[in-house]
Structure formats: C-alpha cells, structure tokens
Amino acid sequence: MGVFSERCNRAGALCRLRSITLTVDEHTLLPEWQKHVVNLLAKAPLQQFHVSTIGGHVNHRLSDDFCRAIVSTHGSQLTRFSVHRMRMSLKAIADICVRCTALQQLFIVVAPKDLDALGPCLAQARNLRAIHVNRPLDYGSEDVPKPSYDKILEIVRQCTPTVQQFGFNTRVFQVERRARVNEDSSDVMLTPYENPEIPEQFLVVRT
C-alpha cells in the first residue's frame, strides 16, 4: 500500500476518484496500512468509502485516528461510509455523524453492549437515509439472539426523520412515520423491507 500510494500521488492518478473499496486480511499491518491509505486518498474527491476484512478474520479494528483523518479530508462530500467485519469505536461513529454533513448511508459494526449508546451518535447525522448495523464476527453466527424489535425501534426513534431504512445483521426494515392528529410529532414504526431489489448494504462487499 505504501508503494501504491506513493506512485499514485506522484502521477496524480486518483484526482477524480469518487468511490473506493478496500479490504485487508490477517497479514495486514493495520497501523501502517491506515497511514498509507490516508496518503493515497488525500487528493481524491471521495464520496463513498468502503472497507472490510477478507473472510472470517476478527481482530482488525479501525483506529479513531484513521477515521478522524478520513473525515477531516473528505467529510464535506462523503455520502457513504461503509465498514464491514471491522470494529470501530462509538467515538469514531459519532465523529462521522457530526462532520460528514452530506452523509446518507452508514454501515457499521457495533457490539451488542454498545447499542444503548448508538442512538445519540446517529442522531447527530442530519441527512442519513440508510443505516445498517452488523454484529462483530466473533459474536458468532445468526443463532445468537438478536436485539429485540423494541431496542431497534428505540435507536431509530433517536434518528432524524430523513432515515428511511434501518438494518441489523440480516434483518432490514423500512422506517415509516405517521403524523399524530393535532400534534407536531409522529409515530415511528418499522415495517418489513418490501423492495424486490437486494438492499445495497448486502451488495457492498462481494466475496
């Protein structure tokens, strides 16, 4: 990645790059890799950022410094920030929600113990349309009990009215709001995903 970054920057090769998908494996030295990726993307007009691990590796974690650097450089134009199979802190998620002012799609990995604190983080994103939360891989397969409908609904209620879709692991919901009569508020409901097309979050990482 270091050599690739240096050559691309020397040639000005990524000056029109708007979307990138990056993957790492168990042999990747993540601190060095993250530093080189920041340099690689420094001059790109990036709008969509995707990163994931290959296969079942569970130990990689995006650092707060890396997420902060990506947001500092590209936050004003990023419409999608997508992380699959890699942990990240709630602090990093909150920073993305606050400073990526054009963000419409957010795909993240969050441990069940952190779900109570997730809602306030997401509430700071003003233009989000789609959110998908995955559990870390080392929590096991889908037979692990899922958060209750009420827990997911509680998180969605804290989000802005722009949110239209919310997913957790393999479950995807449409977010519906119904205005209350003679009130300025609305009731939030989660309904089954009815679009015949596969939700985009399941197409982001191709194996």
Do the beta carbons of residue 75 and residue 100 sit within 8 Å? Answer: yes
| Domain residue spans of the chain | 16-54+61-202
pLDDT for position 78: 98
Do the beta carbons of residue 164 and residue 130 sit within 8 Å? Answer: yes
Condensed to tens digits (0 to 9), the pLDDT of residues 88-104 reads 999 999 999 999 999 99
**Identity of the amino acid at 141:** S
pTM: 0.88
The CATH class that applies to domain 16-54+61-202 reads: alpha beta
- 193 has a pLDDT exceeding 50: yes
Name the token pair of 191.
């309904």
For residue 107, CA distances in Å to 1, 55, 93, 145 come to 24, 18, 10, 21
pLDDT for position 139: 66
Looking at per-residue confidence, does 200 or 186 come out higher? 186
| Average pLDDT of the residues of the chain | 88
- What does the alpha-carbon distance between residue 168 and residue 148 come to, in Å, rounded to a whole number? 11
**Identity of the amino acid at 19:** S
Condensed to tens digits (0 to 9), the pLDDT of residues 131-158 reads 999 888 766 555 445 667 888 999 999 9
- Mean pLDDT in residue range 15-31: 94
- Mean pLDDT in residue range 6-24: 95
- 54 has a pLDDT exceeding 60: yes
